[in-house]
Amino acid sequence: MVNFDELLTLDGVAAAGEFASDGKIIEYRSNTDIAKEIAQVSAQFCATVSMLFNTLAGAFTCFTKTTWVPQKVWSYSGGDWTVIIGGGGNTWVFVETAKADFNQLFKALAYS
């Protein structure tokens, strides 16, 4: 189970949430004024990319005989922000890139 309060205490984290595989928001919390509409669009983006990575991971596992599943963590960084997805592929955090401790975040999300 993901503890959003703990994730929100990590360096640089502005928001954390959970989404369903169809992209609907299950829950989100924020240290800033991120509107629910922004969280919903983000959840749809994250669900879509997670689905793509699951498909690619399955193919890579099959064709390369290396283990790429189950999905643990992925991230996208652009501008001043990074989104990190983990927790079995359905938990996200928004972080200010310059303030983030990525080792700490990846560890927290890979094992949540």
Could you tell me if 85 and 106 are in contact, meaning their C-beta atoms sit under 8 angstroms apart? Answer: no
Helices (H), 9-101: 36-64
Could you tell me if 12 and 75 are in contact, meaning their C-beta atoms sit under 8 angstroms apart? Answer: no
Of 91, 95, 102, 107, nearest to 3 (Cα)?
91
pLDDT one digit per residue (tens) for the chain, 112 residues: 678 899 999 999 999 999 999 999 999 999 988 888 999 999 999 999 999 999 999 999 999 999 999 999 999 999 999 999 997 779 999 999 999 999 999 999 987 6
Q: pTM of this prediction?
A: 0.90
Could you tell me if 44 and 67 are in contact, meaning their C-beta atoms sit under 8 angstroms apart? Answer: no
What domains sit in the chain, N to C, each tagged with a CATH number?
4-106 (3.30.450.30)
